Amino acid sequence: MSNDAHLDPARKHDFVFLIEAVDSNPNGDPDNGGIPRTDPITGQGLITDVAIKRKIRNTVAMINEHENVPGNHIYVEAGVALNAQHERAFTEGKATDKKSAQEWMCRNFFDVRMFGAVMTTGKKDRWAGRVQGPVQIGFARSVDPVTPFDIGITRVTPTREEDVEAWNNPSPDGKTKGKETEMGSKHIVPYGLYKGTGHFSAPLAGRTGVTKDDLALFWRAFILMFEHDRAAARAGLALRGLHVFTHADPFGRAPAHELADLITVTRRGDVTARSLDDYELGTEPAKLPDGVELTTLLPQVR
């Protein structure tokens, strides 16, 4: 088996990842007050593909701030209008039509090459078309149901100056008291182990120009994506597994869902999981179909 088979853009790859959440909010729902996303029927936790790709984009951008590799800029970037990114293809890239603009966008933006993009907004003569990316990531779903809940917190100072002033100098009639503190809340799940899948299409990668270096950066960013995304409500997120199935050809030798089933997560006995030790994690390499090899990037095998 090749040690760098997972870096070959001319072969199909399917991958399985495990994300652990301890006293954290892995993916809040903005339409529901920011509480952790769950399946309302099963109670299992969910992490969207968008949340995962955002972390990968941020990590690639952070790495590129230091390494400054041409072509590794990020298209979907906070604080930058998408139309302005398209415009760059016609100004910096000297594009003359949609096709040449699309080629420039693929060459210069890592996330366009990998994830694709719909670049049909703004002025019609500045469109860069639609790119179908070779990397697709599904929702991650917790192995067991999770229990989201709110934790009340107190801040020792209020937001407004007038509240402080009224607290320090209450009115004689007692009607204006102000306030000394303010209350808030954090949304967390005490524990959840989430399993997700992703896929890499070699034929689509050939269209966007993905290289071996692009795949190396993608796996690197995937492994590091939680390490520099810490926040008070995301302090306990960790990538606990990353397993890559590489096929012998561009189109694949086995269905992706059958390969994903070879990465097993089994709860140890009838316990309420509160740590990784409550699960038995396993792989079944003996069941690999012909023409498929498995590379485990995390946990690292020494």
The pLDDT assigned to 205 comes to 98
Residue whose entry in the numeric block shows the structure tokens 């299409």: 201
For residue 183, what pLDDT is reported? 65
Mean per-residue pLDDT of the chain:
92
- Reported as a single tens digit per residue, the pLDDT across 151-199 is 877 766 666 676 666 667 776 766 666 665 666 778 999 999 999 999 9
pLDDT at 302: 46
Alpha helix positions (H), the chain? 49-67, 82-91, 98-108, 110-115, 161-168, 202-208, 212-224, 256-260
**For position 167, what pLDDT does the model report?**
61
Amino acid 18: pLDDT: 98
**Is the predicted pLDDT of residue 115 greater than 80, yes or no?**
yes
> What type of residue is 168?
N
For the question of whether the overall pTM of this predicted structure is more than 0.85, the answer is: yes
pLDDT tens-digit series, residues 7-33: 999 999 999 999 999 999 999 999 998
For the stretch 42-62, pLDDT in tens is 999 999 999 999 999 999 999
Rounded CA-CA distance 152/175 in Å is 27
The C-alpha atoms of residue 135 and residue 200 are separated, in whole angstroms, by: 5
**Residue 75 and residue 39: Cα distance in Å, rounded?**
31
Delimit the domains of the chain by residue range: 1-48+139-151+186-302, 66-133, 152-185
**Per-residue pLDDT reduced to its tens digit, 283-301:** 998 899 999 999 999 996 5
